[in-house]
């Protein structure tokens, strides 16, 4: 699609008051986590996805997509915070500004990024901190995501450290602030700004303009987004417009109030009482998902079934994925792929299963990383008000006929 025609369609979508999406289409608050339906409506560059809102766009990837280590761009989940998203971006005039405590302020164009810096790629999982929020009991506040507020892509761009080196950091530089182009609807609403401590930088933190070999999709942050492998997606600022270097941390709503969990060992709290000491969510915990079969699938008794899915963590790497078909009484190892896409990518697994009974069977998957961290059973996960970082053992219920 030509960019001009594309942005016409984007404007119609982003500017719409509503697309007639009903709560049953979007996923009701109390709807079981695997009963969500894809919407009848589509968004620019996207196939039909599970839709929670059209303004701002909140779109979830269906479970059956999660058998491939790379998530197709047109099935990649979407999460925006603000309803006012630019509907025309000229790639020829677009620039990202670097200012603050730097030796020289820069306005870097897309062409500069592609021609004046070393080009790098990293394959990494992008996951909302509220992914699987609807599995918490009682219900936690926020979008009631199922399991599909995530995806994995090969991101291409330029190291953030190379750009900062070009600008030159002053001696007292300690923090980097990132602004995106999404705007608030009301002036009282805080802008979406995230900060990163300079000590957290490594060569995998990049400014990406490509995703799986194509320009970033409009709804995934075109033309440029921050990529911080291993971290939850709240820090991966989209439609990046400004990078500001400072010598001190700035108090920000999306750092100090939102995206935080209790600062204790279990990262949990009593539903009736908020804890006072909290910390931001940063690194992802170990998790897995079964992509096939999905809940409700009918399997023939004595048939040969290959259970397939994905596992990931914050970059330490997946050691094993265990499968149970007897409600957790026994566990067997699944076969893992070669992991050639790197430690921040999904690790695909498969497991040969031959049903030998009739009726409903629950298939469970449990990932274990190289530190020995493993997914807990859902019933053992403690609650937090934000509904963040749920990583209970995954389950699908199938019918053996």
| Per-residue model confidence as pLDDT tens digits over 91-141 | 999 999 999 999 999 999 999 999 999 999 999 999 999 999 999 999 998
Structure tokens at 277: 């000491």
**Are the beta carbons of 285 and 389 closer than 8 angstroms?**
yes
Alpha carbon distance 297, 315 (integer Å): 32
**Are the beta carbons of 69 and 310 closer than 8 angstroms?**
yes
pLDDT tens per residue across span 156-193: 999 999 999 999 999 999 999 998 887 765 555 555 56
pLDDT band at 30 (very low <50, low <70, confident <90, very high): very low
Residue 1, CA atoms < 13 Å, CB-side half-sphere: 14
Alpha carbon distance 301, 370 (integer Å): 36
Structure tokens at 92: 């020829």
Q: Could you give the maximum distance between any two Cα atoms of the chain, in Å?
A: 71
pLDDT, average across residues 361-371: 98
pLDDT, average across residues 314-323: 98
User: Judging by DSSP bridges, how do beta strands 287-292 and 332-333 pair with one another?
Assistant: unpaired
CATH number of 95-280: 3.90.420.10
Q: What is the pTM of this model?
A: 0.91
At residue 8, the pLDDT reads 47
Q: How far is CA 69 from CA 45, 146, 332, in A?
A: 20, 19, 22
- What does residue 113 show for φ and ψ, rounded to 5 degrees? -60, -40
pLDDT band at 31 (very low <50, low <70, confident <90, very high): low
User: Judging by DSSP bridges, how do beta strands 106-109 and 95-100 pair with one another?
Assistant: antiparallel
Fold of 287-400: Immunoglobulin-like (2.60.40)
For residue 338, how many other CB atoms are within 10 A of its CB?
7
Closest listed residue to residue 76, CA positions, set 219, 173, 243, 283:
219
Say if residue 12's pLDDT is above 80. no
At residue 148, the pLDDT reads 98
Instruction: Give whichever of 77-86, 270-279, 375-384 has the largest mean pLDDT.
Output: 375-384
Closest listed residue to residue 203, CA positions, set 301, 315, 102, 289:
315
Q: Where are the domains of the chain?
A: 3-79, 95-280, 287-400
For residue 174, how many other CB atoms are within 10 A of its CB?
14
Q: How far is CA 337 from CA 40, 182, 347, 395, in A?
A: 35, 38, 6, 21
Q: In the predicted model, what is the mean pLDDT of the chain? A: 89
Sign of torsion, CA 66 69 75 80?
A: positive
Structure tokens at 72: 């197709």
């Amino acid at each position: 699609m030509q960019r001009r025609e594309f942005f016409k369609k984007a404007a119609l979508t982003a500017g719409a008051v509503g697309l007639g999406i009903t709560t049953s289409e979007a996923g009701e608050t109390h709807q079981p986590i695997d009963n969500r339906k894809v919407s009848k409506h589509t968004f620019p560059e996207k196939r039909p996805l599970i839709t929670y809102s059209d303004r701002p766009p909140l779109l979830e990837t269906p479970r059956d997509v999660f058998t491939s280590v790379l998530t197709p761009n047109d099935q990649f989940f979407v999460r925006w915070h603000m309803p006012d998203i630019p509907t025309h971006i000229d790639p020829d005039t677009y620039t990202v500004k670097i200012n603050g405590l730097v030796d020289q302020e820069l306005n870097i164009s897309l062409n500069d990024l592609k021609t004046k810096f070393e080009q790098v790629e990293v394959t990494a999982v992008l996951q909302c901190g509220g992914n699987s929020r609807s599995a918490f009991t009682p219900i936690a506040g926020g979008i009631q995501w199922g399991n599909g507020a995530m995806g994995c892509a090969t991101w291409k761009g330029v190291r953030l450290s190379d750009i900062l080196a070009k600008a030159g950091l002053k001696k007292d530089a300690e923090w980097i602030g990132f602004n995106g182009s999404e705007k608030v609807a009301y002036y009282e609403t805080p802008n979406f700004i995230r900060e990163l401590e300079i000590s957290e930088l490594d060569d995998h933190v990049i400014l990406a303009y490509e995703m799986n070999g194509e320009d970033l999709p409009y709804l995934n942050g075109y033309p440029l987004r921050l990529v911080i492998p291993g971290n939850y997606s709240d820090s991966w600022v989209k439609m990046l417009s400004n990078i500001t270097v400072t010598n001190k941390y700035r108090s920000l709503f999306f750092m100090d109030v939102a995206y935080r969990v209790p600062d204790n060992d279990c990262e949990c709290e009593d539903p009736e009482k908020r804890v006072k000491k909290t910390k931001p969510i940063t690194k992802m915990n170990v998790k897995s998902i079964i992509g096939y079969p999905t809940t409700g699938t009918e399997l023939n008794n004595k048939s040969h079934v290959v259970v397939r899915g994905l596992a990931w963590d914050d970059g330490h790497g997946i050691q094993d994925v265990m499968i149970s078909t007897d409600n957790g009484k026994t566990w067997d190892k699944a076969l893992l792929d070669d992991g050639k896409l790197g430690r921040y990518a999904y690790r695909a697994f498969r497991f040969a299963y031959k049903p030998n009974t009739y009726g409903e069977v629950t298939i469970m998957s449990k990932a274990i990383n190289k530190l020995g961290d493993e997914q807990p059973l859902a019933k053992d996960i403690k609650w937090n008000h934000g509904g963040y970082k749920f990583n209970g053992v995954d389950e699908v219920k199938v019918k053996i006929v």
